[in-house]
Amino acid sequence: MVSEAENQEVKQTPLAARHVELGAKMAAFAGWEMPIQYAGIMSEHLAVREKAGVFDISHMGQIWVRGAGAVEWLSGVLTNDLSTLDVGQGQYTLMLNEKGGVVDDLIIYRSAELEFFLVVNASRIEVDFKWLQSQALDTEGIELENESEAYAGLAIQGPKAVEVWTEMAAGLGEELPQRNQIAQVKAGNGDDLILCRTGYTGEDGFELFCPAASAVYWLDKALVAGCEPCGLGARDTLRLEKCYPLNGSDLDEEHTPLEAGLGFFVKMDKGEFVGREVLQEQKEKGLSRRLCAIRMMVKGPPPRPHYSVCAAEGGEPIAELSSGGLSPSLKQGIGMAYLPIACAKAGTQLEIDVRGRRYAAEVVKKPFY
């Protein structure tokens, strides 16, 4: 049982009461009481793949970075090359520690010439902010602002996301920004909204950040416009089918982005950044392990995080799953694990240990879907 003291530390988003009214099953995630599912993970997942769904992402963090030296400073603490960003553009990037391990993965937008908007993981807000502050100690003119509490956030995802926005914004006359871009708009009710054309599901969609007090207003607009309410359960199956890593499961301070297969978001030739030396060494010596996609070959129990991954034909355990579950789109068990490089090639036969029984599995190319 959760003790009362622990209970008090679980934070609520401005939408918590509305989720319960809508029939959500709530549970703690990353220190927040969040909706896990409403009608069911399967139907919510398929709604996002086929139509549109809305997720509460108010738990995610928003950090502003401003100042004359912001580009150079951020370039030294993030892996991607943000000098290529025009105002209004964004990119996926990573914040590393000195060992090359992942402090957080995030999306950064250039909201103005010398202003950047960072959307970070809920469980990492304080860690990220302290890390950034510690990196900014010797830098003049860098202003950091953690505005995570001020915003509520909704992710509207699915092939009908544009139609949903058109209806939500009736009379506003604002078009959504292009893929990976950001727009700040004034809504009819006076709200200042931040719209980001991104997501974590592999479908078209956008994230809308509004003042916390208006969260219910915008959630209800999304529902009226045809979105299914979706919980973190479907968010997890959707991202796993696309092999998007989950921080804390697939990414942590012990694994580098190269090992996680995120080399595309690491620009080694842009100049110095925290963690670069370790990555350079890994590039030269080669990786010893790699985050791989694993598919179950037989009908069996869904693979789940921490299950043992073993060599085929009763071989030794070689890793444990960092993520796993049943894919609602493929109706197959899927997962990811950091495998020794000798076992990391697509086609490698493996076994997953589920409660003492072995089930055949195989390394496959990413993504699953």
Partner 1 sequence: MNIPDQLKYAESHEWTELDGEMAKVGISDHAQAELTDVVYVELPEVGNLVEAGDPVAVVESVKAASDIYAPVGGEIIEVNDAVQDDPALVNTDPYGAGWLFKIKAEDTSQLTALMDAEGYTAHIS
- The answer to the question of residue 304 lying near partner 1 (CB under 8 A) is yes
| Cβ proximity to partner 1, 40 vs 69, nearer residue | 40
CB 222 within 8 A of CB 154: yes
Our finding on whether 306 is near partner 1 (CB under 8 A) is no
Residues contacting partner 1: total by CB under 8 A: 17
Distance between CA atoms of 363 and 336, rounded to whole angstroms?
9
Position of tokens 């070689």?
318
Q: How far is the CB of 369 from partner 1 (least distance, A)?
A: 15
Query: Applying CB under 8 A, which of residues 10, 22, 26, 42 lies at the interface with partner 1?
Result: 42
Among 10, 22, 33, 40, binds partner 1 (CB under 8 A): 40
Of 245 and 328, nearer to partner 1 (C-beta) is: 328
- Counting contacts by CB under 8 A, is residue 325 touching partner 1? yes
Annotate each residue in 233-272 with x if it binds partner 1 (CB under 8 A) or - if it does not, as one string.
x---x-----------------------------------
| Paired sense of beta strands 349-354 and 308-311, if any | antiparallel
CB atoms within 10 A of CB 114: 16
Q: Which of 88, 300, 305, 367 binds partner 1 (CB under 8 A)?
A: 300
Closest contact distance (angstroms) between CB of 204 and partner 1 is 24
- Does 305 help bind partner 1 (rule: CB under 8 A)? no
Separation CA 292–CA 76 (nearest Å) = 29
Q: What angle (nearest 5°) sits at the alpha carbon of residue 94, between those of residues 120 and 10?
A: 30
Across 115-251, the runs of DSSP E, i.e. the strands, are 115-120, 143-146, 151-157, 182-186, 192-196, 205-211, 228-230
DSSP class per residue in 126-138: HHHHHHHHHHSTT
Q: What mask of x and - would describe binding to partner 1 in positions 204 to 233, judged by CB under 8 A? A: -----------------------------x
Cβ atoms within 10 Å of 316's Cβ, excluding its own: 7
Enumerate residues 6+ apart whose C-beta is below 8 A from 162. 176, 204
Q: CB neighbours of 287 closer than 8 A, spacing ≥ 6? A: 258, 259, 341
Among 328, 339, 361, 363, binds partner 1 (CB under 8 A): 328
Check binding of 355 to partner 1 (CB under 8 A). Answer: yes
Minimum separation from the CB atom of position 172 to partner 1 (A):
36
**Which region, judged by CB under 8 A, interacts with partner 1, from 3-11, 34-42, 160-168, 179-187?**
34-42
| Residue 326 is a binding residue for partner 1 (CB under 8 A) | yes
Interface pick for partner 1 out of 15, 24, 41, 107 (rule CB under 8 A): 41
292 DSSP β-pair partners: 337
**Binding positions for partner 1, rule: CB under 8 A:** 25, 36-37, 39-42, 233, 237, 300-302, 304, 325-326, 328, 355
